């Protein structure tokens, strides 16, 4: 929709291509009124403190009231943050986001006594209440998980302090967003004397273009801006990592990794299997870089060549065509799934579609139990944009089905399973695209999109996971970590993955860590790689027409958090406690590499 030369204002975009904010709150005045009401009603929580064990009815009253208020706070926060993300120059939205952060911290502090009090009631008594009080009948798994984590729940006073710390600690994430999305100004790309603005929302347009000089300038100018702020970015990231370690130690975990895995009952083997299998299969990536270098006809492959188009005739894909192809690809999942997806894209305005001035980089699916599962992205009429849309719709349909089939307490799902649904949609849509057009250039373009996606999830994310593990371990061991240390570590890890086929500009490659806000979520990035592994394993079963797989996959999407993540994936048909799914995805990757080699020979 927008070239690198022009970034439209939000007011230039048709309403049908903007998320339906009015369906969440009719106006910001209504949002403000709800904020004040909820802020006052939080006082209703205090009288319950010390009385949750009085009776089953009293506990059920607490669950109803606290859940209602948390749902309302979540909706307030979503509206503010989504508004800010779509226009980071909207100061009113920024202020609203800050208010909502504060309200989240307050509700966390006001409810912090509940877990210790429920633990004091005892598991046997709580489970008997689940059987006798109808309003508690859905909480069996929730209470079981609470007692599983009992050893890491602290006293009411400590829990209150930990909850209160959420607001100031949360500022590291917001600081990163403000610094990289709002404050950073990038040196423009200059071609034939013409300046073209470089921004978060246009960077990919340059890097995916055929002009090598434009790619070079965009990549270098982008990295150089981050490097110019390397000390500030390092300080902020280390504060985030130390926050992870603080929370882990406060809850009596040995490491931040253990805290992250234990939260969702994930075996340690899942993380280490991924890293070990990735390192074993790095030569597959080396082979890909060699094929890409030859296909592009360059003597030395540079990092800014990773996304350069190999095909000379990349397809133009409109938003409407993308929706159509995704719906066709998802046909094995049934008409209810496809109907909800199509309606969300074309009628209910789930998607904020096109790039605009001030829009945050990247794409995400976001919403609450009481809203549609909205999507923010910057669609640019490419196969890559189609793939991004398919990815985010996987998240949105996962949310849609979880909320439709589960009560609020289980209406969300863990990060570990989140990336399965998104990558499943991409893999399954991609399989459909291979069938609809046998043209050589189209097939190459589909493989390029696949490799771009796998590069992000199966190369960058395992590398960032190794980086995150090393940084956290150094801090946990009391070692010093500086900006130079982070850059050197990142450069070393990428050099291993690039092998001899890629020239490594150590400083510019080394600052890559600062370009991924995902690192501000404790051990999040590895879950992209495990997610794409499970996704490809399940998609392969769908493509093979295995009986019952589609039905079991829909059941998986509908479980929310009513099952532990590894158990939910077993229901779908994949066991992530073994390296099999990761190995299977490397086989898929190797197949794409070989096919690309044949098509470009």
In the structure encoding, which two tokens stand for residue 599, read together?
A: 């098509």
1 CB neighbour count, 10 Å cutoff: 17
Site of tokens 């894909």 = 317
In the structure encoding, which two tokens stand for residue 443, read together?
A: 């097939």
Please check whether residue 292 is in contact with residue 305, taking contact to mean a CB–CB distance below 8 angstroms. yes
Nearest Cα residue to 256 out of 6, 72, 52, 523: 523
Please state, in angstroms and rounded to a whole number, the distance separating the CA atoms of residues 105 and 575. 37
Strands 351-352 and 364-366: unpaired
Strands 364-366 and 374-376: antiparallel
Please check whether residue 448 is in contact with residue 309, taking contact to mean a CB–CB distance below 8 angstroms. yes
Please state, in angstroms and rounded to a whole number, the distance separating the CA atoms of residues 165 and 177. 20
In the structure encoding, which two tokens stand for residue 566, read together?
A: 């590894």
Please check whether residue 377 is in contact with residue 388, taking contact to mean a CB–CB distance below 8 angstroms. yes
Nearest Cα residue to 323 out of 348, 298, 355, 297: 348
Helices 319-329 and 383-405: angle between axes, nearest 10 degrees: 60
Nearest Cα residue to 400 out of 441, 442, 345: 345
Query: Catalytic: 392?
Result: yes
Nearest Cα residue to 391 out of 346, 324, 443, 453: 453
Residue 316 DSSP class: P
Q: How far apart are the first and last CA of the chain?
A: 33
- Give Cβ neighbours of residue 261 (< 8 Å, ≥ 6 apart): 267, 268, 270, 271, 523
Burial class (CB in 10 A: 0-12, 13-18, 19+), 597: middle
List 159, 160, 392, 476, catalytic entry: 392
Residues annotated as catalytic (active site), given as ranges? 392
């Amino acid at each position: 929709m927008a070239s690198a030369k022009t970034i439209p204002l939000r007011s230039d975009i048709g309403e049908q291509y903007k998320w339906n904010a009015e369906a969440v709150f009719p106006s910001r005045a209504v949002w403000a009124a709800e904020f004040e009401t909820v802020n006052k009603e939080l006082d209703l929580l205090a009288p319950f403190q010390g009385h949750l064990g009085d009776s089953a009815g009293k506990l059920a009253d607490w669950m109803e009231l606290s859940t209602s208020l948390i749902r309302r706070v979540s909706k307030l926060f979503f509206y503010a943050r989504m508004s800010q993300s779509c226009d980071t120059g909207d100061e009113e939205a920024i202020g609203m986001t800050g208010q909502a952060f504060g309200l989240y911290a307050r509700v966390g502090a006001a409810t912090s006594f509940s877990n210790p009090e429920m633990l004091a009631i005892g598991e046997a008594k709580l489970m008997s209440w689940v059987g006798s009080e109808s309003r508690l009948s859905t909480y069996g798994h929730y209470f079981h998980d609470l007692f599983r984590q009992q050893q890491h729940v602290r006293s009411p006073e400590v829990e209150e302090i930990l909850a209160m710390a959420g607001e100031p600690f949360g500022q590291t994430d917001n600081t990163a967003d403000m610094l990289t999305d709002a404050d950073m100004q990038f040196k423009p790309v200059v071609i034939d004397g013409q300046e073209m603005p470089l921004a978060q929302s246009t960077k990919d347009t340059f890097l995916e273009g055929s002009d090598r000089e434009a790619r070079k300038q965009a990549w270098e100018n982008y990295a150089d801006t981050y490097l110019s702020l390397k000390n500030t970015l390092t300080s902020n990231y280390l504060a985030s990592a130390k926050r992870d370690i603080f929370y882990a130690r406060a809850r009596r975990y040995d490491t931040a990794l253990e805290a992250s895995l234990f939260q969702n009952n994930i075996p340690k083997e899942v993380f280490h299997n991924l890293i070990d299998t990735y390192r074993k299969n790095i030569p597959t990536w080396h082979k890909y870089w060699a094929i890409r270098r030859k296909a592009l006809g360059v003597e030395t492959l540079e990092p800014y060549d990773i996304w350069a188009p190999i095909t000379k005739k990349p397809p133009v894909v409109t938003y409407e065509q993308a929706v159509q192809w995704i719906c066709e690809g998802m046909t094995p999942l049934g008409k209810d799934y496809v109907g909800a997806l199509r309606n969300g894209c074309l009628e209910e305005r789930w998607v904020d579609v096109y790039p605009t001035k001030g829009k945050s980089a990247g794409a995400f699916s976001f919403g609450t139990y009481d809203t549609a599962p909205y999507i923010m992205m910057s669609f640019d009429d490419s196969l890559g944009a189609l793939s991004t849309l398919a990815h985010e719709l996987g998240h949105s349909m996962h949310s849609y089905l979880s909320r439709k089939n589960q009560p609020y307490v289980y209406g969300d799902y863990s990060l570990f399973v989140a990336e399965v649904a998104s990558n499943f949609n991409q893999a399954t849509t991609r399989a459909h695209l291979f069938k609809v057009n046998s043209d050589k250039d189209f097939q190459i373009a589909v493989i390029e999109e696949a490799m771009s996606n796998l590069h992000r999830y199966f190369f960058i994310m395992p590398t960032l996971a190794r980086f995150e593990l090393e940084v956290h371990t150094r801090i946990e061991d009391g070692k010093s970590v500086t900006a130079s240390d982070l850059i050197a570590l990142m450069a070393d890890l990428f050099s291993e993955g690039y092998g001899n086929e890629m020239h490594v500009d150590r400083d510019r490659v080394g600052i890559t860590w600062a370009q991924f806000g995902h690192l501000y979520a404790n051990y999040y990035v590895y879950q992209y790689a495990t997610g794409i592994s499970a996704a490809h394993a399940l998609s392969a079963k769908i493509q093979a027409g295995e009986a019952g797989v589609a039905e079991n996959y829909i059941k998986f999407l509908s479980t929310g958090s009513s099952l532990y993540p590894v158990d939910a994936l077993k229901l779908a048909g994949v066991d992530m406690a073994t390296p099999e799914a990761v190995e299977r995805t490397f086989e898929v990757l190797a197949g794409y590499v070989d096919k690309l080699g044949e098509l470009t020979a």
